[in-house]
Amino acid sequence: MKVLLIDVNCKYSSTGKIVYDLYSRLNADGHEARIAYGRGDVIDEPGIFKFGIDSETKKHALLARITGKNGCYSPKSTARLIEYIKEFKPDLIHIHELHAYFVNHGQLLEFLKEQQIPVVWTFHCEYMYTGKCGFAYECQQYKSGCGKCPYIHEYVSSFGIDRTAQLLAEKKKSMEGLNLKAIVTPSKWLADKTKETYLYKYNIQVIHNGIDTDGIFYPRPSDVELRNEYGINPDDRLVLAVAPNIMDVRKGGQTVLDLAETMPDTQFVLVGADETKRHSENVQLIARTKNQDELARWYSEADVFIICSKAENFPTTCIEALCCGTPVVGLDECGTKETAPEPYGTFVKVDIAGDSDVKYAATLEALKKAIDSQLARELSAQQIRDFAVSAYDNKVMYNNYLNVYNICS
């Protein structure tokens, strides 16, 4: 079977790692897989093609902000992708993310409709059924066509022009006639939401994200050197948060900092900041890293992993922590809770968007109690890891996708 995987990234970021895992396992299993991706460093490996032109991506991002229209530019990059598809002649195309200013949606989907190539599409966010939003939060205007977007300045961002109604109508038109065999979502939360949209008629199923649980994400021994490097005492309780752009409002970094102020006897490490610095006596900020081994060391060293994002589909950071033997605590938002069912995770159902100071203080107190409650369970790292490997090893993910490919190709 010849499979082409399309994504914004390759090898790096949550979706880029998933795509690379599928590519590697397909080829090892005797199939012929290739990756076409739009952004990031050029990867010099057989069957991996960066079609995105960086200068065109920057122009696309600027035009999207000026005009309010995303996914309508990058004609040269998209033409390169189409030529690559023509040359490869795949039996199946597996699409992941198409936003992030690197491809022309209409141009690509019209070609795929003309060729009637079978498509499997993994939704990692809400983008394909909203006008422009990766996450709709509490907004449900996409059910009636979008317009008057309350999040016009959030990613995918605009300087002020609202084209969301037009963009959603164009997405619906582009999807008509596409040989779309299956829509996959990593979480039940996103599957249920997708079924409430114009895409309800398609085959929608859940396949959890998978990671490398053997070579990278496994429990490491106590790491005194790591603690010493950042001035953390060996006996201090350690709470870890990891996210790209962790101080972005959606990622909840500020909530973690505010929680740390209420827990002076606990050390907090936030990975994914703009720089590495000691924020306060009990908070260490660390810049984003592509070093997976370093991340695994932090996951293993932490007593608890915390996630305070306002919106996530099925965050890979949670399953990375679990595979390293670390329990999860966080806000019960979107699909996050699905990653760590009890007893491996404790989640607080509080919507902090627009909360009063009193409610926000209650949220912080609930998170503090959740950390204490989770640690009181005294689960061993091996117990947590055993669950995580059975559910989230990339071999499990691959086999589930292979079943879909075999049915759909």
| pLDDT tens figures, 165-190 | 999 999 999 999 999 999 999 999 99
The full set of domains in the chain, from first to last, is 2-210+393-408 (3.40.50.2000), 224-392 (3.40.50.2000)
Residue 361 has what pLDDT?
Answer: 87
Q: What are phi and psi of 273, to 5 degrees?
A: -80, 175
Cα(190)–Cα(126) distance, integer angstroms? 7
Cα(27)–Cα(393) distance, integer angstroms? 18
Cα(263)–Cα(313) distance, integer angstroms? 29
- What DSSP letter does each residue of 125-165 carry, written as one string? SSGGGSSS-S--TT--GGGTT--S-TTTTSSSP-SS---HH
CA torsion sign for 204, 208, 209, 212 is negative
Instruction: Report how far apart, in Å, the C-alpha atoms of 261 and of each of 106, 169, 265 are.
Output: 49, 46, 10
Cα(31)–Cα(43) distance, integer angstroms? 21
Per-residue model confidence as pLDDT tens for the chain (409 residues): 999 999 999 998 889 999 999 999 999 999 999 999 999 999 999 999 999 999 999 999 999 999 999 999 999 999 999 999 999 999 999 999 999 999 999 999 999 999 999 999 999 999 999 999 999 999 999 999 999 999 999 888 889 899 999 999 999 999 999 999 999 999 999 999 999 999 999 999 999 999 999 999 999 999 999 999 999 999 999 999 999 999 998 899 999 999 999 999 999 999 999 989 999 999 999 998 888 999 999 999 999 999 999 899 999 999 999 999 999 999 999 999 999 999 999 999 875 555 577 788 889 999 999 999 999 999 999 999 999 999 999 999 999 999 999 998 7
Beta strands 277-280; 283-287: pairing state: antiparallel
Within 10 Å of residue 350's Cβ, how many Cβ atoms?
A: 16
| pLDDT tens figures, 191-239 | 999 999 999 999 999 999 999 999 999 999 999 999 999 999 999 999 9
Write down the H helix ranges in 53-147. Answer: 54-67, 75-88, 105-115
Half-sphere exposure of 45 (CA within 13 A, CB side): 14
| pLDDT tens figures, 276-312 | 999 999 999 999 888 899 999 999 999 999 999 989 9
Q: What are phi and psi of 337, to 5 degrees?
A: -60, -25
Within 10 Å of residue 35's Cβ, how many Cβ atoms?
A: 26
- What DSSP letter does each residue of 238-291 carry, written as one string? EEEEE-TTTTSTTTTHHHHHHHHHT-TTEEEEEEEESS-EEEETTEEEEE----
Cα(365)–Cα(359) distance, integer angstroms? 10
Cα(144)–Cα(198) distance, integer angstroms? 10
Residue 13 has what pLDDT?
Answer: 86
Burial of 87 (0-12, 13-18, 19+ CB in 10 A): exposed
Residue 196 is given by DSSP the state: T
Full-model pTM: 0.93
